[in-house]
Amino acid sequence: MENLLGQIYCWFQSFYGQDLSYYLWGYDPGTEAYTNPNIYNLVGLITLVCSLVLVVVFYYIINHPRLCKWWSWLITLGINGVIALFVGYGIVMSKYVNGYIHDTLMYQRDADGNIISILIGESNCWGFGIANMFVAMIAFVLLSFMLKWWSSSAKHVPFL
């Protein structure tokens, strides 16, 4: 279970890159081992809780016949995606800006220590936010199918 969320995020690794993925798994270049905290678990749990809250809000709190339509479900799904985008981006960007990502994961250097290329940048942080958005949308759809059956008005939204 400890690696499950990380494996799900790795389906979307092409959005944010392998170097950022090493950091998110908890890789420490100093020890050459995965001894740092697994950031995937933190982001994934926040994303799952947000998705669960929005599913409960849609199916049990809003639960009004006028709003129990496929378009209102899509709007809620979109809100979930936008929240997840900024959660993923915000957490990783804060680690990036505050210097928690080790220098050897961020830059490729030559023998003199000059930077040859940047391996992790702001675009990678946005890419992880996009990956988190997709994970959140998948979680929202799955949670919708699991929890919609007990709703009094919205049990048939988005489809039977």
At residue 44 the predicted structure's pLDDT band, cuts being 50, 70 and 90, is very high
pLDDT of residue 153: 75
The pLDDT assigned to 1 comes to 58
Q: For the purposes of burial, counting CB atoms within 10 Å of the CB of 150, is it exposed (0-12), middle (13-18) or buried (19 or more)? A: exposed
pTM above 0.85, yes or no: yes
Residue with tokens 């391996």: 119
pLDDT the model gives residue 24: 95
Nearest of 41, 13, 30, 54 to residue 148 by alpha carbon: 54
Taking alpha carbons only, the member of 59, 74, 77, 67 closest to residue 152 is 59
Average pLDDT over residues 147-159: 78
Average pLDDT over residues 139-154: 87
> Stretch 98-112: mean pLDDT, rounded?
90
Average pLDDT over residues 86-109: 94
pLDDT of residue 159: 72
Q: What residue segments make up the domains of the chain, in order of their start? A: 4-150
Q: H helices within 34-121, ranges in order?
A: 39-56, 70-97, 103-106
Mean local confidence (pLDDT), 6-22: 95
Q: Which H or E run contains 117?
A: strand 115-118
The pLDDT of residue 58 is above 70: yes
